[in-house]
Amino acid sequence: MLSFLSVLVLGAASQSPRKQRQQEDPVLGHRIAKGIVLDGKLWLRGTDVSRKGGPGELISVRLTDDSTSAHFQRGVVDIEKSGHDLWVLRQVAPDVHEFVVSIWRSGAFEDLARFTSTDKDEPIVLLNSAGSPYVLSHDALRVLSEGHHDWQLIALKGQLRWGVQVSVASPRSGKSIYVGVNRGEWGGGLQRVDVQTGVVTNVERRDTKDLCGGPLNSDCDPVTGVISDPQKDDCVLAAVGLVHLSISKGQILRVCGDRVTPIAEEPATGGIGGKMKMTEAFYGLAPAGDSCFWGITWRALYRFAVDGKQERVYPLPKLKPVSGVYLSRELPGVIVVRTDVNWAVSTSGYTPLLVPLEDAQTQGETSPR
């Protein structure tokens, strides 16, 4: 059963899912897991939810004329931005445990470095740490040397969780990596990896003995976005969001080590009869300068101050098809893209993906078009 909340807000009710799927991008489909704006293009990475968020595809949409290019039709594990560079982590060939990090330069991808792994140590995400690629896998953290010649391997002490979406961020101190896991109705939660020792810590806060007591419960709370705290060196901000069976819940948390503090939530009503008190599900976060950040729900785009105080709210516009991808460029500082990746793990229907513009981190009120 589709949640009426996300369907109404994202305008998906105007067509049946079957008709919408017939109009999807032929390479990417609707399972869009991540987006980056760089070099005048919107880069979109798909995911294979049948493989628990495994390697997918990579396309780009040129923002000047909306033309689409397919760069890789399979094997892309993750994409990451470093300054004016775009990195891609991909599997060289199906059923071959060899991976390569490539960089977009002069209109083409160049390979930087390769590594091999085992079938039990598949890469999960690609990170940017001080301009160097890091690859986090199930069993290890790989750090590429400054000259891009070899990898330093740090074995993980603990198990990372899987999800249809995984988001990562490091505090400005760079001492750890926080991993947000989205498993929809099965939770996901937040984990922390010490970059020196490889120790994996589950970050939890359960204020009650209820089964889903929170505000951060890995059994019930999918973490849908993680970003560095704009002003606190040892902290990150994390978004929680779930719409399932017409019930919505979500909030934004500040996490400093093991300390979890709720800083923002938006009230909503719904459920049977439409009178149940709920909170809006957040589906992503993005920096917006040194003193604020963006958060997106199924209803609106919010700009928050670093203390969680709401500064602006923009109702989501109707998303329009662009070369088989539904998106909007009407909001300040960001592009909103529709994805059904959460549909694999909840009844949320189509949900919004938040992609900041190239200058959005320094200009909180930039108009995209």
On whether residue 366 sits in a domain, the answer given is no
Please indicate, yes or no, if residue 362 is contained in any of the structural domains. no
Q: For residue 49, is it within any domain?
A: yes
Number of structural domains the chain divides into: 1
Query: Does 368 reside within a domain?
Result: no
- pLDDT tens, 281-331? 999 999 998 889 999 999 999 999 999 999 999 999 999 999 889 999 999
Q: Domain containing 135: what range? A: 4-356
| pLDDT of 257 higher than 80 | yes
The answer to whether residues 288 and 360 touch, using CB atoms and an 8 Å cutoff, is yes
For 15, the token pair is 């067509």
Non-local CB neighbours of 271 within 8 Å, separated by 6+ positions: 246, 247, 278
- Mean pLDDT across the stretch 211-231? 95
CATH of the domain at 243: 2.130.10.10
What is the percentage of the chain residues whose pLDDT exceeds 70? 87
DSSP string covering 298-343: SSEEEEEETTS-EEEEEEPPPPEEETTEEEE--STTEEEEEE-GGG
CA-to-CA distance for 271 and 259, rounded, in angstroms? 32
Residue 7 has pLDDT above 50, yes or no: no
> Residue 41 falls within a domain, yes or no?
yes
Q: What is the pTM (predicted TM-score) of this model?
A: 0.88
**pLDDT of 20 over the 80 cut:** no
What is the residue-wise DSSP string for 198-242?
Answer: -BEEEE-EE-SSSTT--EE-TTT--EEEEEE-SS-TTEEEEEEEE
**In this structure, is residue 92 part of a structural domain?**
yes
Does any domain span residue 348? Answer: yes
pLDDT tens-place string over residues 23-43: 566 566 668 999 999 999 999
Counting residues of the chain whose pLDDT is more than 90, the rounded percentage is 68
CA distance 91 to 114: 10
Residue 1 binned pLDDT confidence (cut-offs 50, 70, 90): very low
pLDDT at residue 220, as a whole number: 95
Selection from 143-147, 149-153, 353-357 with the highest mean pLDDT: 353-357
117 within domain boundaries:
yes
- pLDDT at residue 8, as a whole number: 36
pLDDT of residue 64: 94
Give yes or no for a contact between 294 and 333, defined as CB atoms under 8 angstroms apart: yes
